[in-house]
Amino acid sequence: MRLGIISDTHGALSAAVHDVFSQVDRIVHAGDIGGDDIIIELETIAPVTAVYGNTDGLDLRNRLPRVATFELNGLYFTITHGDQFGRPTPPVLCNRFPEADVLIYGHTHEPLLELVDKTKTVMNPGSASHPRGDGPPSVGIMETEAGLPPRARLVPLIRS
């Protein structure tokens, strides 16, 4: 199964996201969505699992969780925006969610893909609309297959 991983859209979704996510089976949004219209647009590509972030309004907070979990191909996923941890880091997240095989978070607007303790995949796709520093907006792609560790990569978005 191929997952499109996105965070920190803040109400803006570029056409490049549609291109990168054109072959995904499911989309995971790690918060700071910016409004229902972003979820609706992403759902035209694939089913969406999302959590709210610290800048999301009451409309999203009332219908989305702060932390979402699901199992896929024998892997246990945990998704959070991460703002509840200040500036989240892989060690902090792994300590807080020890049962997770895959941790996906946002908030920092800085892309990260790290293997912790040789068993946990931690991904922050960066911001799809407002990157920090000199890097481009970015998202992630993750592929899972039963009995294998996840394969993931960060994907820079071409500004249009």
The tens place of each residue's pLDDT in the chain, 160 residues long, gives 999 999 999 999 999 999 999 999 999 999 999 999 999 999 999 999 999 999 999 999 999 999 999 999 999 999 999 999 999 999 999 999 999 999 999 999 999 999 998 889 999 999 999 888 888 999 999 999 999 999 999 999 985 5
- The per-residue pLDDT for 118 is 85
- The per-residue pLDDT for 159 is 59
Domain spanning 2-156: CATH superfamily: Metallo-dependent phosphatases (3.60.21.10)
As a whole number, the mean pLDDT across the chain is 95
Per-residue pLDDT tens digits for 33-46: 999 999 999 999 99
H/E run at residue 102: strand 102-104
Q: Which long-range contacts (CB under 8 A, 24 or more apart) does 46-49 make?
A: 46/4, 46/21, 49/79
- The per-residue pLDDT for 74 is 95
| CB contact burial 47-67 (16+ within 10 A = b; e otherwise) | ebbbbbbebbeeebeeebeee
CA 23 – CA 56 distance, rounded (Å): 28
H/E run at residue 17: helix 15-20
The domain locations on the chain are 2-156
